[in-house]
Structure formats: structure tokens, C-alpha cells
Amino acid sequence: MSSALAAKATDLEPEPDSDARQSLTVPQPNHTEPLRNCVRSALRFYLTNMGGHDVTGLYRMVLDEVERPMIETVLEHTNGNQSQAAQILGISRSTLRKKLKSTDDR
């Protein structure tokens, strides 16, 4: 078939309406579920293995333990580009720089 005929054939195909486009949309998987399950598992392990010791300050501890590797991983993903990393993290570049400095001081 010549390219002119192929172009004419595609011109004749009807454009799906918005309802048809919606029904053709593949549902997106929940990309946060594996992360959520990993955190749950780690917390269950931690709490189960406390050996009767009181648990206090868990919220702050988890945030402190997660923030640094999250920032490092995102920076690695962006090859050190702080502007891109800040965008991925949903924070400003100046906030990212403050967080990097504060975690270096710990």
C-alpha cells in the first residue's frame, strides 16, 4: 500500500470519544504500595524486637532514619542535580540544601 493510501486510510478511522478513551485507559498500579509495605514491615520488626523496652519518640526516629537515605537516593537518581531532586521531593532547592546541611551536622 502506498504511503498516500495509508495516510487516507488512517484519516478514515474515527477518533474515539472521551468515554471510549476512558474505557481504553489502563489503570495505573499503586506505586507507593511497596514502599508502604516496606515501612510497615520494618516497624513491625522493630516493635516486636524491643524486648520489653519502652518505645518513645518513634515518629521522630522514623522521620530521621528515612529522610537522609531518601534525599541521598533521589540525588543519586538525578546525578546530584539539586534542582531536579528538590522537584522530585516536592520541596524547594533551598529547603533541600538546609536538609543536607542539617543531616551533615548530625
pLDDT digits (tens, 9 = 90+) for 65-106: 999 999 999 999 999 999 999 999 999 999 999 999 986 766
Q: Would you say residue 5 lies in a domain?
A: no
| Residue-range definition of the domain harbouring residue 38 | 31-105
Quick one: the chain helix, strand, coil %, rounded to 5?
70, 0, 30
Residue 56 forms part of a structural domain: yes
- Domain count of the chain? 1
In a domain, 93, yes or no: yes
| Any domain includes 64 | yes
Which parts of 1-106 are beta strand (E)?
Answer: none
> Could you tell me the CATH number of the domain that includes residue 65?
1.10.10.60
Position 8 in a domain: no
What's the predicted TM-score (pTM) here? 0.62
Cα(16)–Cα(24) distance, rounded to whole angstroms? 10
pLDDT tens digits for range 23-69: 556 556 678 888 899 999 999 999 999 988 999 999 999 999 999 99
User: Would you say residue 89 lies in a domain?
Assistant: yes
